[in-house]
Structure 1
Amino acid sequence: MDSEDVNSKLKGDGNKSSKDMIFRADKIDLKSLDAQLERHLSQVWSKNNTATKRPKEVWEIDLAKLDLRYVVANGAYGIVYRGTYDSQDVAVKVLDWGEDGVATSAEAAALRASFKQEVAVWHKLHHPNVTKFVGASMGTSNLKIPLQNPTNGAQDSLPSRACCVVVEFVPGGTLKQYLIRNRRKKLAYKIVVQIALDLSRGLSYLHSKKIVHRDVKTENMLLDGNQNLKIADFGVARVEALNPSDMTGETGTLGYMAPEVLDGKPYNRRCDVYSFGICLWEIYCCDMPYPDLSFADVTSAVVRQNLRPEIPRCCPSGLANIMKKCWDGNPDKRPEMEEVVRMLEALDTSKGGGMIPEDQPKGCFCFAPTRGP
């Protein structure tokens, strides 16, 4: 039987059933068949791999270039590390969606969707008062995580479904930490206004891009080595809805949340303006609003009794008026952030004033020993 006969037998004969076919093993080219099978399997694997591999996002980074060093902060859904990316100092927010059994699959999916939303917002932003976005990854299977309590110098790694976002490292810490350090001696008036201007300019930029931050607070603001402020943490930021009723829910932090947000009513970018007003008071006073009130007490008092932080008697009237306008109970009466920028720019800080007279390094005595409302 020649090779043609063998091939004919292998392909089958329409006049014979398979049980009637006879093969001579010494005439079958097994090496050739193995090569054909290998090519076939390779094509199938390649096809399946291509079908399942998602397209790379424009913001995705090369994890091989990312080196994590140590923990900077811990949050509800992840850890912030300091590290380097391609020789640049960066902060890395690593998010584990509780897929170890803590969160349901639906909750994990929702968190991952929020992550993509955060990244989609952040990678398009370019402003000196907004933290610079470097990149992100939807999977950290190749990301080596330093152990917090290493015993043998080993490294750990997160599940492949975890995510990370990489931004510029801002070395000065949070604005909240800076204000706490200055709680007793306070800040010079010109520094108060400069910090407020940085924050207002950053928020005005975000609003111009139709972005509502929704969690404006001093803890989410960072200071660089020259005391320039940069807005950070876009975990709850979102593109402003055309219909305000599409934006509801208590999103934000107690003490900074606008009445309409606390009350579960529709809101828009003016909720950020309210939060800015509270931040402005905090920057001036280096103190916390409503330190002794519970969530329920603050919610009820802010919404129904128009509770606001007490403005010290020494506060210049121009700055006090900006606070009051920003935290007006009626969102429609609050100014736009671009208008707030203009009002702050118009303030005269050349003669000092406020908590610290230019020639005296003393604190302010406007507050009684028990501060706040």
Structure 2
Amino acid sequence: MDAKESNGFLRVKQSDGEKGDLMSKLKGKGSLSSKDLMLRADKIDLKSLDIQLEKKLNKVWCKQLDTEHPKEEWEIDLSKMELKHLVAHGTYGSVYRGTYDNQDVAVKLLDWGEDGMATAADSASLRAAFQQEIVVWQKLDHPNVTKFVGASMGTSNLKIPVKNSSQDAYRSHPSRACCVVVEYIPGGTLKQFLIRNRRKKIAFKDVIHLSLGLARGLSYLHSRKIVHRDVKTENMLLDFERTVKIADFGVARVEAQNPRDMTGATGTYGYMAPEVLDGQPYDHKCDVYSYGICLWEIYCCAMPYADLSFSEVSSAVVARNLRPQIPRCCPNSLASVMKMCWDASPEKRPEMDVVVRMIEAIDTSKGGGMISDDQAPRCFCFGWARGP
């Protein structure tokens, strides 16, 4: 269809088969010849046309989703979902607290950007990441792993609360976005708990309790051939009984049979194993290394390598075998587990089920926790400030 504007009129070239349909959609008066339709341009209801076009595109998009992605057993009914408020916002999405079918849940939304703004490559990449997380998470069932509730591949009928606005203010959910719904864990992250205790430290029995929960969760994942690849205290949640729950499977994947198929610097600096930092092939033992760093962090209530930049940590861990300094007050039974877990050679690191048995065997009756600054005798394990 060709259109020309002249002297306030719109001249539309159209075939005979289009005349009736066009007359039903355009408002205004004009004269109709056998070839041309003369209409006042200022009489055309462009807003109405835009709405009709948007509806048509949405139908096409939804039909395409149904064709390419048939409904899965894990897909949820978003009419049962209500988002309450924003909990956290990161690089790959936002986490909201809400309810689903009268159950407290956390909802992770992957940010696709505004409809029509993301490229086809961006959309494909985000969708692949989403599907990977669902495949990993949906069939897991362990006391130390956050429970999966369901997910949605894309919808526009989920209301998202607007930050710093009234309770009745919402913004639309982009139709190409997707969300993962999991049980809500009320105690915050393990890292937040450690930060709160960075001055007074925590009792040795609590150190072992937290360390054992994390070890058991990782042992379960490895038994299912799943590598988390981003083990850190920030990705561990605590319930009211301080039970550790492994969360955030955004970069987790089913372990490749050939370690050479798993490469790339995936994870967080400070927790990443040397082979991962160096771009070498790796396997589930990268999680064991990260666990060793977390074990040190749980005991010390401090952040590893607090005085170093990411680049300094990366080069020193690989080239100089840099590891966090173990305090002299740390019991040998726990210090030995740290050292075995963060060994430079993946083959020398123990399996996580072995780590579980070693942690279970540690005697906590005599204490042995990190001594805080305001206790006597004072611990001179570090020569620098210990808080994160």
Q: Same fold (TM over 0.5)?
A: yes
Compute the displacement of 1:163 (Å). 0.4
Matched residues in 2 for 1:169 and 1:59: separation? 18
Q: Which runs of 5+ in 2 are unaligned?
A: 1-58
Do the aligned partners of 2:340 and 2:348 also contact (CA within 8 Å) in 1? yes
SS in 2 for 1:236: coil
Aligned to 2:102: 87
Assess if the C-alpha contact under 8 Å between 2:115 and 2:175 holds in 1: no
- SS of 1:127's partner is coil
Partner of 1:240: 255
Q: Provide the secondary structure at the position in 2 that maps to 1:187.
A: coil
1:104 shift after superposition: 3.5
1:191 to 186, 191, 206: 206
What SS class does the counterpart of residue 166 from structure 1 fall into?
strand
Q: Secondary structure at the match of 1:170?
A: coil
Q: Which residue of 1 aligns with 2:24?
A: none
Asked if 1 retains the 8 angstrom alpha-carbon contact of 2:83 and 2:99, the reply is yes
Q: Distance in 1 between matches of 2:142 and 2:167?
A: 43
Conserved? CA contact 1:186–1:363, under 8 Å: no
Secondary structure of the residue that 2:94 maps to in structure 1? Answer: strand
The Cα of 1:192 is off from its aligned counterpart by 0.3
Q: Quote the residue 1:201 is aligned against.
A: 216
Correspondences of 1:1-373 after superposition (within 5 Å): 52=67, 54-98=69-113, 104-150=119-165, 153-356=168-371, 364-371=379-386
**1:318–1:49 CA distance, 2 compared to 1 (3 A):** closer
Distance 1:151 1:370 in 2: 42
Question: Which amino acid is the alignment partner of residue 246 of structure 1?
Answer: D
Provide Cα deviations, 1:111-136, integer angstroms capped at 9, x if missing partner.
21111110111010000000010000
After superposition, the Cα gap between the structure-2 partners of 1:49 and 1:184, relative to the gap in structure 1 and judged at 3 Å, is closer
What TM-score do the two structures reach when normalised by structure 2?
A: 0.79
Residues of 1 paired with 2:86 and 2:379: CA distance? 36
Q: Percent identity?
A: 71
Please, which moves more after superposition, 229-238 or 96-105?
96-105
Distance 1:212 1:152 in 2: 40
Distance 1:319 1:160, change over 3 A: same
Measured after TM superposition, the shift of residue 369 of structure 1 is 3.4
Question: Relative to 1, partners in 2 of residues 1:265 and 1:54: Cα closer, same or farther, differing over 3 Å?
Answer: closer
Structure 1 counterpart of 2:159, one-letter code: K
Kept after mapping to 2: 8 A contact 1:260/1:266: yes
Return the offset for 1:67.
0.4
One-letter code aligned to 1:64: S
Cα distance change of structure 1 residues 53 and 333 upon mapping to structure 2, 3 Å threshold: closer
**SS class of match (1:165):** strand
Which amino acid in the other structure matches residue 335 of structure 1?
P
Q: State the match for 1:13 in structure 2.
A: none
Q: Deviations over 1:119-162 (max 9, x none)?
A: 11101000000001000000131111111132693311121110
TM-superposed CA distance for 1:96, in Å, is 1.7
Q: Is the 1:184–1:363 contact (alpha carbons within 8 Å) kept by the matching residues of 2?
A: no
- 2:340 alignment partner, SS class: helix
- Distance of aligned partners of 1:290 and 1:104 in 2 relative to their CA distance in 1, 3 Å threshold: farther
Post-superposition, which runs of at least 4 consecutive aligned residues in structure 1 deviate over 3 A? 48-54, 98-104, 360-365, 369-372
In the alignment, the residues of structure 1 paired with residue 351 and residue 204 of structure 2 have an alpha-carbon distance, to the nearest angstrom, of: 23
Over residues 302-324 of structure 1, what are the superposed CA-to-partner deviations in whole Å (9 max), with x where a residue is unaligned? 00100000000000000000000
Preserved contact between residue 355 and residue 363 of structure 1 (Cα < 8 Å): no
* Kept in 2: contact 1:77–1:97 (CA 8 A): no
Contact 1:140/1:164, CA 8 A, preserved across alignment:
no
Larger radius of gyration between Structure 1 and Structure 2:
1
Which stretch shifts more, 73-82 or 251-260?
73-82
Distance 2:167 2:301 in 1: 44
Rate the CA distance shift 1:364–1:105 in 2: closer, same or farther, 3 A: farther
Code of the aligned partner of 2:169: A
SS of 2:344's partner is coil
Secondary structure, counterpart of 1:125 in structure 2:
coil
Give the count of matched residue pairs. Answer: 324
Change (3 A) 1:320 1:101: farther
Q: SS at 1:67's partner residue? A: strand
The amino acid that maps onto 2:219 is S
**Structure 1: gaps of 5 or more residues:** 1-44
The secondary structure found in structure 1 opposite 2:129 is helix
**Residues 136-193 of structure 1, C-alpha deviations (whole Å, 9 max, x = no match):** 0001311111111326933111211100000000000000000000000001111001
